[in-house]
Amino acid sequence: MSIDIGILFNTDRMAGPDFVDYARRIEAAGIESVWLAELFGREPFAASGALLAATSTLRVGTAIANIYARDATAAAAASATLAELSGSRFELGLGVSNRGLNRARGHQWTAPAPRLEAYLQDVRAAKITIPTSTYPIHVAAHGPRMLQVAAANADGVFTYVMNTEHTARTRAGIADGKLTPMVMCLLCPEPERARELCRKAIGFYVGLDYYHRAWRTLGFVDTDFADGGSDRLIDAIVAWGSIEDIKARLQAQAEAGADRVVVIPLNPVSGVQPDWNLLEQLV
């Protein structure tokens, strides 16, 4: 592959030793980075510290740390600490999550773009009194206003379950910022079975209006969001098929302007582990 590969997987169901082994196996496979979500499981900064301590070359980042969950100074302090103690292998990924999840945590939802802009500025301005350490800041963004905020205040952008047309469009709008699409990948060459598994994986996102808005700008319509997603939508946003098919899809992301692709390795037999057969063939 002529592009850096990162991995994002829901590791919250893994036992602690398995979680550390997961990172070590990713590092041994030659993969560039591993990314940790913030859901209702492990705290992402603490978990990042454990993985950085257990590896030597792997980059570790949050994807994404929810800006509602901690104030900007706390995020800056955690990031600077992890970067300092790991030899600058930590990367900070931030996002607003969504209205429903934040309300479930007891937070009052406000307009996402101005809230994110203010938070990024506060992270940059935070006075952290430890030896100088630097870390890149990435922002999860799809819509034009969020991309404007990212271009002006962050070092890069994450996109999630979008096609190569969206990658090319995003690349045109963020100039020199680092662009990292996150792509669900499924090693399964049987179309009917692959699409069935893909629908299960994207079911949550197909129900969210703000993903509908982003997908509509790419030519999808309401019928594409019915019954778990049309074949057309599935085939556009999930890289499924043989390993050659998947590599071609990731390479297409690079040609559309991606600097790195974060693979979400769907496991065709389910379970708490990613598809290691896929991961070990990627690089």
3 state SS of 262: strand
pLDDT band at residue 132 under the 50/70/90 scheme:
confident
pLDDT in tens, 18-66: 999 999 999 999 999 999 999 889 999 999 999 999 999 999 999 999 9
User: Residue 191 CA to chain centroid, in angstroms?
Assistant: 25
- C-alpha 154/C-alpha 94 separation (Å) is 10
The range of the structural domain enclosing residue 147 comes to: 4-282
Other Cβ atoms less than 10 A from the Cβ of 47: the count is 22
The pLDDT of residue 171: 95
The pLDDT of residue 169: 95
3 state SS of 34: strand
Tell whether the model's pLDDT for residue 155 goes beyond 70: yes
The pLDDT of residue 105: 79
Burial class (CB in 10 A: 0-12, 13-18, 19+), 105: exposed
**Alpha helices, H only, the chain:** 16-28, 44-54, 72-86, 99-104, 112-125, 144-153, 164-173, 191-206, 209-216, 231-237, 243-255, 276-282
pLDDT in tens, 161-220: 999 999 999 999 888 899 999 999 999 999 999 999 999 999 999 999 989 999 999 999
Residue 211 has phi, psi (to 5 degrees) of -75, -40
Instruction: Give the count of domains, the chain.
Output: 1
pLDDT band at residue 2 under the 50/70/90 scheme:
confident
SS (H, E, C) 1-25: CCCEEEEECCCCCCCHHHHHHHHHH
pLDDT in tens, 74-123: 999 999 999 999 999 999 999 998 777 777 778 888 899 999 999 999 99
Contact in structure between 175 and 257 (CB atoms under 8 Å): no
The pLDDT of residue 40: 86
- C-alpha 234/C-alpha 212 separation (Å) is 13
CATH of the domain at 227: 3.20.20.30
- C-alpha 152/C-alpha 155 separation (Å) is 9
pLDDT in tens, 226-265: 999 999 999 999 999 999 999 999 999 999 999 999 999 9
The pLDDT of residue 149: 96
User: Residue 34 CA to chain centroid, in angstroms?
Assistant: 10
Length of the chain: 283
The pLDDT of residue 176: 84
